[in-house]
Structure 1
Amino acid sequence: MPRPRPVRAAALLSAALLALTTASCNGDGGNRGEDPADTANASTTQKLDWKPCPPPSRSEGGEAAGSPPGREWECATMRAPLDYARPGGETIGIAMIRARATDPARRIGSLVFNFGGPGGSGITTLPAFSDDYRTLRTRYDLVSFDPRGVGRSNGVTCMSDKELDAYYASDATPATRDEEKALVERIERYAAGCRKRSGKILPYVGTSNAARDLDLMRQVLGDDKLHYFGVSYGTELGAVYAHLFPKKVGRALLDAVVDPASDPVQSALAQAGGFQLALGNYMTACVRTSDNCPTEPQVTGLLDRLDKRPVPGGGGRDLTQSLATSGIAQALYSRDFWDYLTEGVEDAENNDGKILLALGDAMNGRGQDGRYSSLQASLTAITCADFAQRYTAAEVEKKVAEFRKVSPVFGDFMAWSLLQCTGWPVKGEWRTPDVSAKGSAPVLVVGNTGDPATPYEGARKMVQELGPGVGVEMTYRGEGHGAYDSGNACVKSTVDAYLLEGTVPGPNKVCS
């Protein structure tokens, strides 16, 4: 089941790509929790011990995630019930980070960020890109966290780094019965590894529990309402929070919106179409500035050849079809990486896979040191804890033609990814999440017409599902995954006015 990746994952590639190109059982999540006491009894009275932040952990990407944040950043660990059905039982540590408001006299409260994934580390992402939120910081403490099962918050692990290298390089689009059987066996081994290494927390990493963590966080931070900035999967988390705690919603932004009404098949089909649209937009823009732009037949031809004969990717590793497909998709998350995509495809056709391999590694959470963060393991664990659907290879095989029609480039890859939860040791909570939020304050929902990972139509569906008078739709006519960080002045000024002054834009506002 493909899910949106963190909006900022591609940006973390800059240094590595520049070097290459210049050198060549969920805890009762179904009921609302209007009363703060429902969240975590005595846990609500805990005092956070804020201290200077340590360097990023291995599960957050280690050295690849950058240096420790500057002195303005503080870190702490919040204790939350592992199982909210047993609030007095075992706890789990939720790692948090913050930078205090620069204009304390006008401080509104805390603004809590989730950058998506599921599986993205807020501890590393927020300080790395805090300049984008400098205006918001004037009146808010900027706060983010590693959700349960992510990074420092008991990040899920499933295999060794060497095993993961082989896993992500393996054929993900079987063409024969033998290849199909091998794919299923690999996925089942992966699930068994997750159970062996992280089985204790797997029943408790779903979105409903993360939403309850948000409400506990709100209370521990001393805020009467939760002010929230959710990106990609973070929009789903924010919407589930609004469903569980509608009266505790303050000012909430949902950017790069997940369609809450789609089941995994519908979501994967829409995402395949979104990446195909983004690829077409990239190719159209490319020919205006370059004479070596790839065509769709070139890309599909390259992937077909890599399926039979990988090319060297540097460091003793090969660029396979699976890694190249991931790399191409990763490059479509931001216009900033379109030039690298052009060069990466051309290089791969000339037997040099380094650029596409670096992009594919970013999608899979692999650092330059060869170590993997918890990104993809956490993504799988949260997805499979959320969704109850479990597909068989025979069911997927019947859908491949439909996926291929939607996307000649990404269709097969996205279809077979529906096997992600095959053999998973934990049952999923829902078939689609309930995000109805009657009684909530207005929630600003921003959709991007060129978004590859969370197609534009999801924003309208989110507004409908939140219910009358809650979701406020806004459109950005642009490219890339997300709107606020696109650099568009209209989007930024509208969102800032909402978050800082409470000014809700008129219905169906459009920025381009």
Structure 2
Amino acid sequence: MAAVTPAPLRPVSRAGRPLMRAAGLLAVGALVLAGCSSPKNQVTVDPSAPASAGEGVAPELAEFYEQQPEWTACGDLECTTVVVPIDWEEPGGGSIELAVNRSRATGGDRIGSLLTNPGGPGASGTEALETVVIQRMGAGVKERYDLVGFDPRGVGKSHPVECVDGAEMDELVAFDADYSTPEGLEDVEARYGEFAAGCLERTGEVLEHIDTVSAARDLDVLRAVLGDEQLHYLGFSYGTALGATYASLFPERVGRLVLDGALDPTLDSDAIAAGQAAGFESALRAYVTDCQAGKSCPLEGTVDEGLAAVADLLEDARRNPLETTDPERPLTASLAFAGIAQTLYANTLWPYLTEGLTGAIQQRDGSRLLQFADLYYDRDPDGTYGSNTTEAFWAIGCADDRATTDPDEMRASAERMVEAAPTIGRFFGYGGVVCARWPVPEAGGLDSYTAEGAAPIVVIGTTNDPATPYVWAESLSDVLSSAVLLTFEGEGHTAYGRSNECITGAVDAYLLEGTVPEDGTRC
């Protein structure tokens, strides 16, 4: 049996419950060669300028901006920790440490540090740097930048959010919610209420301060500690919202920012869930079309009939969960959807979806889809979870924005999602239940995300991205005053390093020479 390459985690709502804020780690995809050209503009960055990185900060923040972390060897990389305030409104009230690692520039003409974020929210940037990000970078970028990964507050090794044990997480992600009655809705809210109480008990006061705005302020400390006057940054998926938030807070400190797989932070959680429902439906339709054009596809008939077969499978799993190789873990509808979603992040993973659907539809064997669901949730075979990505995903989402908890409004919204996405739309509704009993106040976002005065920012969208639909790249490029839109015409989540040489060349030219792609360039 071939090994499955895990697709990136997760700008999708948790199966059976809606998304708080888009997520997503790096998708895995094959390179397709193509060409494009665009006029040249320049971002002026002087790599030889003296580093007055902490200039102009408030006196009460000086200790954070002026700290000198000690770097130690960690495998082929260097690692350190950087201290930031727990509460940016009261910087003297306690601090936390952020885990940071870097790969030093291999050449002599160094530009500076390039901070990277793989998405989520909840994905570990230090792990991603080591396992995915470095491999995605062009040779010139690796020569001239220190590539830097970091775990945002609440994630990975940076005071991680902790809520439940492995068995409790198993139960939660497998649960098929019933929103059809007031009693069913109450039961779902109670389940997430218990999860939320566990987050506060196990995480403590940091739970109230893991929002995106706080994480963006942390980014500015990282910039200063690394000795850069401006922030050079590459963010994927949710990392684009983090980057856009930074640009809006510190427009004068924006260097070369690339936001790939764009999430527009002005969208509320209901709009994000609706967009993703349509996005995953479109990606699933593209998969079915491709599957039926090949051999041994378990989805017969027309494309619509193939989609109907997937819908029937999900309904079958809801009514009577499928057996798997683990007798204690049958495949529920929620797990089946997570397994399907996992394979839609990149079209190179579609053959694995065919394997999973073949077993589920023809033999009622849910083992393969359960394996994909476990990859999605980062669950290990021994029943433990390899990271806190799921807990952080929900917690950061509840910190940033909370959907309505009014039953009638949730029902109407859910009906619109099913209308837009008949096959999988029901897995994106009722977003308010997750945060309905969240034990700390909502932090919220910014009043404006225009980032007036920022240097040119490159926003990248993929035309059939399931997790961050292309319309979000269009809207984010409109919201950011200095943004230019670079488009990859293709399938899958994010583009740089997994699409074609046109995208790679445009991004590398921007990062290395400051050459800004013409707004509207398509690859």
TM-score, scaled to structure 1: 0.88
| Number of the residue aligned with 1:192 | 197
State which of 391, 396, 403 in structure 2 corresponds to 1:377. 391
- The farther-off stretch of 153-162 and 415-424 is 415-424
Q: Using the TM superposition, give the Cα deviation of residue 181 of structure 1 relative to its aligned residue in structure 2, in angstroms.
A: 2.6
CA–CA separation in structure 1 for the residues paired with 2:324 and 2:71: 43
Residue 72 and residue 431 in structure 1: after superposition, are their counterparts in 2 closer, same or farther (change >3 A)?
A: closer
| Number of the residue aligned with 2:106 | 102
State which of 292, 296, 301 in structure 1 corresponds to 2:307. 296
For residues 112-511 of structure 1, the aligned pairs below 5 Å read: 112-129=115-132, 130-135=134-139, 136-294=141-299, 295-315=306-326, 316-349=328-361, 350-372=363-385, 373-430=387-444, 434-467=448-481, 470-511=482-523
Determine helix, strand or coil for the equivalent of 1:200.
helix
Percent identity over the alignment is 41
Counterpart residue type for residue 487 of structure 1: S
CA–CA separation in structure 1 for the residues paired with 2:478 and 2:384: 42
| Number of the residue aligned with 2:82 | 78
CA–CA separation in structure 2 for the residues paired with 1:270 and 1:356: 24
CA–CA separation in structure 1 for the residues paired with 2:171 and 2:201: 19
CA–CA separation in structure 1 for the residues paired with 2:391 and 2:465: 24
Determine helix, strand or coil for the equivalent of 2:429.
helix
Q: Is the 8 A contact 1:172 1:413 kept in 2?
A: no
Counterpart residue type for residue 110 of structure 1: S
- The farther-off stretch of 379-388 and 289-298 is 289-298
Determine helix, strand or coil for the equivalent of 2:487.
strand
Q: Using the TM superposition, give the Cα deviation of residue 273 of structure 1 relative to its aligned residue in structure 2, in angstroms.
A: 0.2
- Paired residues in the alignment total 470
Q: Using the TM superposition, give the Cα deviation of residue 117 of structure 1 relative to its aligned residue in structure 2, in angstroms.
A: 0.5
CA–CA separation in structure 1 for the residues paired with 2:181 and 2:446: 32
Structure 1 residues 120-154: Cα deviation after superposition (integer angstroms, max 9, x where no partner): 00111111122221421110000011100001001
Return 5+ residue gaps in structure 1 as ranges.
12-32, 54-70
Residue 427 and residue 371 in structure 1: after superposition, are their counterparts in 2 closer, same or farther (change >3 A)?
A: same
Determine helix, strand or coil for the equivalent of 1:415.
coil
Q: Using the TM superposition, give the Cα deviation of residue 437 of structure 1 relative to its aligned residue in structure 2, in angstroms.
A: 0.5
CA–CA separation in structure 1 for the residues paired with 2:445 and 2:97: 28
CA–CA separation in structure 1 for the residues paired with 2:233 and 2:82: 18
Structure 1 residues 201-233: Cα deviation after superposition (integer angstroms, max 9, x where no partner): 111100111011100000000011100000000
Q: Using the TM superposition, give the Cα deviation of residue 449 of structure 1 relative to its aligned residue in structure 2, in angstroms.
A: 0.4
| Number of the residue aligned with 2:67 | 46
Determine helix, strand or coil for the equivalent of 1:138.
helix
Task: Give the root-mean-square deviation of aligned CA atoms.
Answer: 1.9
Return 5+ residue gaps in structure 2 as ranges.
1-17, 30-53, 300-305
**Which structure has the higher relative contact order (CA within 8 Å, separation 6+)?**
2
CA–CA separation in structure 1 for the residues paired with 2:310 and 2:404: 31
- The farther-off stretch of 112-121 and 424-433 is 424-433
Determine helix, strand or coil for the equivalent of 1:78.
strand
Q: Is the 8 A contact 2:27 2:492 kept in 1?
A: no
Q: Is the 8 A contact 2:256 2:457 kept in 1?
A: yes
Q: Is the 8 A contact 1:10 1:330 kept in 2?
A: no
Counterpart residue type for residue 126 of structure 1: L
CA–CA separation in structure 2 for the residues paired with 1:431 and 1:38: 25
Q: Is the 8 A contact 1:385 1:427 kept in 2?
A: yes
Q: Using the TM superposition, give the Cα deviation of residue 434 of structure 1 relative to its aligned residue in structure 2, in angstroms.
A: 2.9
Residue 176 and residue 249 in structure 1: after superposition, are their counterparts in 2 closer, same or farther (change >3 A)?
A: same
Q: Is the 8 A contact 1:114 1:231 kept in 2?
A: yes
| Number of the residue aligned with 1:64 | none
Q: Using the TM superposition, give the Cα deviation of residue 438 of structure 1 relative to its aligned residue in structure 2, in angstroms.
A: 0.6
Structure 1 residues 64-90: Cα deviation after superposition (integer angstroms, max 9, x where no partner): xxxxxxx32111111111111222331
Q: Is the 8 A contact 2:174 2:332 kept in 1?
A: yes
Residue 418 and residue 411 in structure 1: after superposition, are their counterparts in 2 closer, same or farther (change >3 A)?
A: farther
TM-score, scaled to structure 2: 0.86
Determine helix, strand or coil for the equivalent of 2:68.
coil
Residue 237 and residue 346 in structure 1: after superposition, are their counterparts in 2 closer, same or farther (change >3 A)?
A: same
CA–CA separation in structure 1 for the residues paired with 2:60 and 2:422: 46
Determine helix, strand or coil for the equivalent of 2:137.
helix
Counterpart residue type for residue 73 of structure 2: P
Q: Is the 8 A contact 1:450 1:478 kept in 2?
A: yes
Structure 1 residues 18-41: Cα deviation after superposition (integer angstroms, max 9, x where no partner): xxxxxxxxxxxxxxx994347832
